[in-house]
Structure formats: structure tokens, C-alpha cells
């Protein structure tokens, strides 16, 4: 089963409905999108000589071409490697090299970054800028047949950073993506034909994954012309396109409800906001419900089980009369239909209701493992259970509340930041003896990054120098917003740094 079957079905059922739109203008119908994808697929196989299972990366700010590229990849029996547009060239280089991608599609703003990254990726043969003739030429020719794919074939190689600092490629198969899609229909929503989704969040991550359930039901996928999330533009598009769904990180929901232009939103414009990827404060959620009505659903998932572990339904958000309404809002909801979810102790024994432990889950959306990384796979997948690294507790209603992120990950503006990656860079400076990076609560971004630094005796270093070092090595959004110089890092008897103590200093 090839996930591109979803598009084939929609091209037959919803032929003339728009499949893609640039801002307020329709771009391609379902029938035309299918034809274009089938022609592009021939180019991938013939002109670029790619063979079943080969990886094709894309580094693109949100645009219609991203959807064309993805489906052409699957149509040709290849695997997509999405890359977050905000990554540093060195991070892109690691992903390109590690995945062994043969071809990479880019938007013009990222062409230089990828050209730089390509120097360290020997298997990358070609970079195609989607605004050049090299791309438009891919429309020319005859449509080829869709390649067969086994449900277990790799479809989406998603690089999630590890606490060790090196990104790991979560291997998602055609079956994983299909199960995620069916789960959306079962637990989240069944969009009507002719509905829409506005891609305001990155297409390389959550918003891109929601393309499947929307495309399977004949919705139009709308790409803001700015290529990013700007509240007035998003509101305009939600008013323009019917029955609009949108995926937003909690901080993006907050920006929406705090922006003056939210009052321009027509009451019937919005169908559903799904939010997730980071904790949402109950006070923000209540304000969002007051302003937007019964239009919110939450999901809890991770790259290793995309968008699917638990969900908090619209009904639970809206049932204000329920005696446990607030507890429900503070939770991440109940296990998804396709998932078994447990809270366990270190030995994997289920803990009693109400007790905190690590969240593990099993089901058809759980990844096949990490690409070329058997050690990390063995740690995360045990007897088919995915150990999420998240800590939480179930209540007597079967609702899961996330207590903490066991791995000290920082979530800023909906993006995950792994302290170890930043610590690795800061440690490159000769004056840095030790450092530790933690998250500090931030009203707008959820958290921001703070580095505690211990300098070597007799030396000193200016924050501006450390900032430069970060800019040279990692994505801008990951660099610390504040440096605190201290005499020694707090440690326990085993020499482990006590991050909780550092956080309490903030
Ligand atoms: P990613 O792999 O980038 O999707 O990040 C996944 C992580 O984000 C999870 O392991 C959680 O720590 C966090 N996360 C995802 N959804 C939620 C949610 N609804 N509430 C709180 N944290 C979440």
C-alpha cells in the first residue's frame, strides 16, 4: 500500500475541487495535481535515476510545491526526508549525509544553505530549486504508473534531535502514515469535501503531516503567500476558504487570540484548530474557547509516533458543566483509537492510576526504528513499545496528564530545543570550562534558552563571543537568550548536573 493512493482516490472522487491554493487563489485541482505528480514521478525515476527506497530530501519554506514534491516522491516509491527550514547549514548537512539523500528540493531562500550543506553530503547528487526551469521541466512528459510499496516501506524519514545532541531519523512507514490518517478521522475530525487547511506551521513537521487526512477528504491545502505564520494573513485566509482547519503550536494559538485581527474572523469561518507539540496553559485555553467557540482539539504525539498518542476532543473542551472540566483541559486527553498507552516505572511495570511514570505506547503509528541507529532504536523500542521520554500520569477517567519532559528538552515557540546540542557548541570555546543549558518560562514563547557558564581559571568570555559561536554552528532560534556566569555547576553525588537547581535560580 502506497500512501500516494490517498491522492489517487481523491483525484477520482473530488476531481475538480481545488487541491492546492496560493493564498486566496486556487492553484491546482485534484485531477491536475494527480497528473502533475505522476509526471514528476517519471522524472524522478528516469531523469534522476532514483530507485525504490532512495531518499529525497526537501528544505522548503511553506509553499504548494512542497505537496507536489512529497506525492511525486511517494508515487515513485521513494522516501521523503523533510528538513525544517530554520535549521543551520551544518544541521542540514548532517541530515543529508546521514539519510544518504540523493536529491534535495529547495525554495530559493534556502538554496545557499543547502549548497553549503551539500559539501558534506557526498551522496547528494542534485539540488532542485522549485522556482527554476529544472523544476518546471518536471511537469513535461507523460504520467507514469504509481510504484508499488509495501506497508512497511519507509515513507517519511523525520529527524528529531536526541538528548545526545545528534539528530536521529525516525523511520515512518506508509502504514504509520495511513494509521495516523485514519486515527484523525476516528478521534479528531472528519473534514467535509470542499473544506480547507491553512498551512501556517512548518510543512516539515505537524502541519505537513495533517496534509494526509485533509487531502484524503478533498480539502484544499492553502499556503500563505508570506510562507509563514502572520495572524492577519491567517485570519484572511480562514475567512476566504470554507470549513477551515489549522494546526498550531500552543504559542501560535496564543498569538492568534491576543492579536486584534482575531475580531475579523467570521464566526462560521473556522472549523477546527488542532494544537499540540508543547504544553498549553489552561488560562490560555479558556480564553481561546471564549473567543473562538467549540473549535479546539488537542493532540499529543511525537516524531516517533506522529500526531498520535493521546487526544483531547472538542467535546471535552466544550463541556464546561462537567465537574472535572478544568482537569480535563489541563490534560492531554485519552489514548488514541489506534494506540495502547501505559504509564510505567523504570522496569516497564504499569504504575497505579494517579502515579507518575514514563509514558510508553504501542500501535500502528509507532515508527519502525531510527535510521542506521540500532542502539537508539533498542533504547526507544522495547517489545514494540515506544518509550516516549515523557513523564505523566493517568487519572480515573483515563485522561493522561503530562507532568514533565524527562529529557530536559526546551520547547520555545513550538520548536524543540535540546540543551545538549547547545552545550556541545559552547564547550568548543577555550574559555568555557563547563556549561549547562536550561529553559526559562517565557510569556510569549513558552520557554526561552538560558546558558549557565563556568569559565576556566584566569579566563573570561563575553556573551557576544558565545553568541557568535552559536550562530556559526546551530539554528538561530536555539541560541541562548541569556548567559549566566557562575563559579560552579550544582551536581549530585554521581557528578550529574542538577538542572532543576539551575532552573530554580531563574
Ligand atoms: P516532536 O517529536 O518534535 O513532535 O516533539 C514531541 C514532544 O513534544 C513530546 O515528546 C512531548 O514532550 C511534547 N508534546 C507533544 N504534544 C504535547 C502536548 N499536547 N502537551 C504537552 N507536550 C507535548
Asked whether residue 137 is assigned to any structural domain, the reply reads yes
Q: Are 416 and 388 in a shared domain?
A: no
- Tally Cβ neighbours within 10 Å of residue 26: 14
Asked whether residue 495 is assigned to any structural domain, the reply reads yes
Q: Are 373 and 425 in a shared domain?
A: no
Q: Are 486 and 376 in a shared domain?
A: no
> Which of 160, 302, 317, 387 for a ligand 1 pocket mutation test, highest count of atoms within 8 Å of Cβ?
302
What distance in Å separates the CA atoms of residue 438 and residue 451, rounded to the nearest whole number?
6
Domain that holds residue 482: 409-504
Class of residue 270 by CB neighbours under 10 A (exposed 0-12, middle 13-18, buried 19+) = buried
Name the 3-class secondary structure at 326.
helix
With a CB cutoff of 8 Å and minimum separation 6, the contacts of 159 are 81, 83, 95, 98, 99, 167, 168, 169, 170, 303
Residue pLDDT, tens place only, 144-195: 999 999 999 999 999 986 444 578 999 999 999 999 999 999 999 999 999 9
Give backbone dihedrals phi and psi of 384, rounded to 5 degrees, phi first: 85, -5
Cα of 249 vs centre of ligand 1, distance in Å, is 10
- Residues whose beta carbon lies within 6 Å of some atom of ligand 1: 160, 276-279, 298, 300, 302-303, 332, 388, 390, 402, 405, 416
Mean pLDDT check: name the lowest of 363-367, 487-491, 494-498. Answer: 494-498
Residue pLDDT, tens place only, 342-373: 999 989 999 999 998 899 999 999 999 999 99
Whether the per-residue pLDDT at 497 is higher than 60: the answer is yes
Q: Rounded mean pLDDT of the chain?
A: 94
> Which of 277, 406, 447 for a ligand 1 pocket mutation test, highest count of atoms within 8 Å of Cβ?
277
| pLDDT for position 404 | 57
Asked whether residue 15 is assigned to any structural domain, the reply reads yes
| pLDDT for position 405 | 62
Whether the per-residue pLDDT at 384 is higher than 70: the answer is yes
Q: Which residue, 272, 343, 357, is CA-closest to 310? A: 343
| pLDDT for position 495 | 55
User: Can you tell me which atom of ligand 1 is nearest the CA of 206?
Assistant: 4
Q: Are 66 and 134 in a shared domain?
A: yes
> Can you give the CATH number for the domain in which 461 is found?
3.30.300.30
Cα of 244 vs centre of ligand 1, distance in Å, is 24
Which residues make beta-bridge pairs with 292?
Answer: none
User: Can you tell me which atom of ligand 1 is nearest the CA of 158?
Assistant: 2
Q: Are 118 and 50 in a shared domain?
A: yes
Q: Are 328 and 458 in a shared domain?
A: no
Q: Are 23 and 126 in a shared domain?
A: yes
Residue that terminates a domain, selected from 347, 370, 394: 394
Q: Whose CA is nearest to atom 1 of ligand 1?
A: 302
Q: Residue 494 — pLDDT band, cuts 50, 70, 90?
A: very low
| pLDDT for position 54 | 98
221, 14 contact by CB (below 8 A): no
Asked whether residue 401 is assigned to any structural domain, the reply reads no
Cα of 166 vs centre of ligand 1, distance in Å, is 18
Residue pLDDT, tens place only, 392-442: 899 999 999 987 566 677 888 888 787 877 888 898 899 998 899 999 999
> Can you give the CATH number for the domain in which 237 is found?
3.40.50.12780
What distance in Å separates the CA atoms of residue 187 and residue 480, rounded to the nearest whole number?
38
Q: Are 18 and 84 in a shared domain?
A: yes
| pLDDT for position 403 | 76
Q: Are 389 and 413 in a shared domain?
A: no
Asked whether residue 404 is assigned to any structural domain, the reply reads no
User: Can you tell me which atom of ligand 1 is nearest the CA of 407?
Assistant: 12
Asked whether residue 402 is assigned to any structural domain, the reply reads no
With a CB cutoff of 8 Å and minimum separation 6, the contacts of 391 are 356, 357, 358, 359, 402, 403, 404, 405, 406
Distance set, CA 136 to CA 19, 114, 364, 407, 443 (Å): 19, 20, 37, 44, 44
Asked whether residue 399 is assigned to any structural domain, the reply reads no
Cα of 276 vs centre of ligand 1, distance in Å, is 7
Q: Give the total number of structural domains in the chain.
A: 2
Q: Are 366 and 428 in a shared domain?
A: no
Q: Identify which has the larger pLDDT, 164 or 36.
A: 36
| pLDDT for position 409 | 79
> Which of 180, 249, 300 for a ligand 1 pocket mutation test, highest count of atoms within 8 Å of Cβ?
300
User: Can you tell me which atom of ligand 1 is nearest the CA of 303?
Assistant: 2
Residue that terminates a domain, selected from 341, 371, 394: 394
| pLDDT for position 163 | 41
Residue that terminates a domain, selected from 361, 394, 427: 394
Cα of 430 vs centre of ligand 1, distance in Å, is 35
| pLDDT for position 453 | 97
Q: Are 303 and 170 in a shared domain?
A: yes
How many alpha carbons lie under 13 Å from residue 322 in its C-beta half-sphere?
Answer: 13
Whether the per-residue pLDDT at 327 is higher than 70: the answer is yes
Q: Are 101 and 211 in a shared domain?
A: yes
User: Can you tell me which atom of ligand 1 is nearest the CA of 304?
Assistant: 2
Asked whether residue 238 is assigned to any structural domain, the reply reads yes
pTM for the structure as a whole: 0.87
Residue pLDDT, tens place only, 41-81: 999 999 999 999 999 999 999 999 999 999 999 999 999 99
Q: Whose CA is nearest to atom 7 of ligand 1?
A: 302
Amino acid at each position: 500500500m502506497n500512501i500516494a493512493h490517498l491522492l489517487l482516490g481523491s483525484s477520482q472522487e473530488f476531481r475538480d475541487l481545488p487541491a492546492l491554493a496560493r493564498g486566496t487563489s486556487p492553484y491546482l485541482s485534484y485531477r491536475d495535481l494527480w497528473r502533475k505528480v505522476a509526471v514528476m514521478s517519471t522524472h524522478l525515476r528516469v531523469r534522476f535515476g532514483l530507485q525504490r527506497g532512495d531518499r529525497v530530501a526537501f528544505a522548503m519554506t511553506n509553499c504548494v510545491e512542497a505537496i507536489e514534491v512529497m506525492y511525486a516522491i511517494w508515487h515513485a516509491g521513494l522516501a521523503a526526508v523533510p528538513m525544517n527550514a530554520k535549521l543551520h547549514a551544518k544541521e542540514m548537512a548532517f541530515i543529508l549525509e546521514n539519510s544518504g539523500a540523493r536529491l534535495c528540493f529547495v525554495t530559493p531562500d534556502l538554496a545557499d544553505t543547502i549548497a553549503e550543506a551539500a559539501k558534506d553530503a557526498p551522496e547528494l547528487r542534485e539540488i532542485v530549486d522549485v522556482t527554476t526551469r529544472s523544476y518546471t521541466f518536471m511537469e513535461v512528459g507523460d504520467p507514469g504508473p504509481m510504484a508499488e510499496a509495501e506497508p512497511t516501506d519507509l515513507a517519511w524519514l523525520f529527524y528529531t534531535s536526541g538528548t545526545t545532541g545528534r539528530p536521529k531519523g525516525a523511520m515512518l512507514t506508509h502504514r504509520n502514515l495511513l494509521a495516523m490518517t485514519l486515527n484523525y478521522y476516528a478521534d479528531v475530525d472528519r473534514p467535509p469535501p470542499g473544506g480547507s487547511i491553512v498551512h501556517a506551521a512548518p510543512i516539515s513537521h505537524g502541519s505537513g503531516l495533517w496534509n494526509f487526512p485533509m487531502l484524503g477528504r478533498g480539502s484544499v491545502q492553502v499556503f500563505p503567500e508570506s510562507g509563514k505564520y502572520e495572524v492577519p494573513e491567517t485570519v484572511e485566509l480562514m475567512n476566504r476558504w470554507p470549513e477551515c482547519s489549522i494546526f498550531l503550536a500552543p504559542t501560535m494559538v496564543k498569538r492568534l487570540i491576543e492579536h486584534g485581527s482575531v475580531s475579523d474572523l467570521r464566526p462560521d469561518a473556522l472549523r477546527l484548530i488542532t494544537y499540540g507539540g508543547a504544553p498549553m496553559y489552561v488560562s490560555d485555553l479558556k480564553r481561546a474557547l471564549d473567543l473562538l467557540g467549540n473549535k479546539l482539539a488537542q493532540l499529543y504525539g511525537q516524531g516517533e509516533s506522529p500526531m498520535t498518542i493521546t487526544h483531547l476532543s472538542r467535546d471535552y473542551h466544550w463541556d464546561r458543566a462537567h465537574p472535572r472540566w478544568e482537569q480535563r483541559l489541563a490534560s492531554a486527553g485519552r489514548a488514541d483509537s489506534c494506540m495502547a498507552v501505559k504509564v510505567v516505572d523504570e522496569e516497564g511495570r504499569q504504575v497505579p492510576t494517579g502515579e507518575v511514570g514514563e509514558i510508553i505506547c504501542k500501535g500502528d503509528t509507532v515508527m519502525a526504528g531510527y535510521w542506521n541507529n540500532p542502539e537508539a532504536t533498542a533504547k526507544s523500542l522495547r517489545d514494540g513499545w515506544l518509550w516516549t521520554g515523557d513523564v505523566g500520569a493517568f487519572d480515573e477517567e483515563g485522561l493522561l496528564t503530562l507532568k514533565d519532559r524527562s529529557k530536559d528538552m526546551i520547547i520555545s515557540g513550538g520548536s524543540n530545543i535540546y540543551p545538549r546540542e547547545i552545550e556541545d557548541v559552547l564547550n568548543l570555546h577555550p574559555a568555557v570550562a563547563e556549561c549547562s543549558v536550561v529553559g526559562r518560562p517565557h510569556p510569549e514563547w513558552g520557554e526561552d534558552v538560558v546558558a549557565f557558564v563556568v569559565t576556566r581559571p584566569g579566563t573570561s568570555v563575553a556573551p557576544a563571543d558565545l553568541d557568535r559561536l552559536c550562530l556559526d554552528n546551530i539554528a538561530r532560534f536555539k541560541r541562548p537568550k541569556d548567559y549566566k556566569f557562575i563559579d560552579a555547576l550544582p551536581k549530585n553525588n554521581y557528578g550529574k548536573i542538577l538542572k532543576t537547581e539551575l532552573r530554580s535560580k531563574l
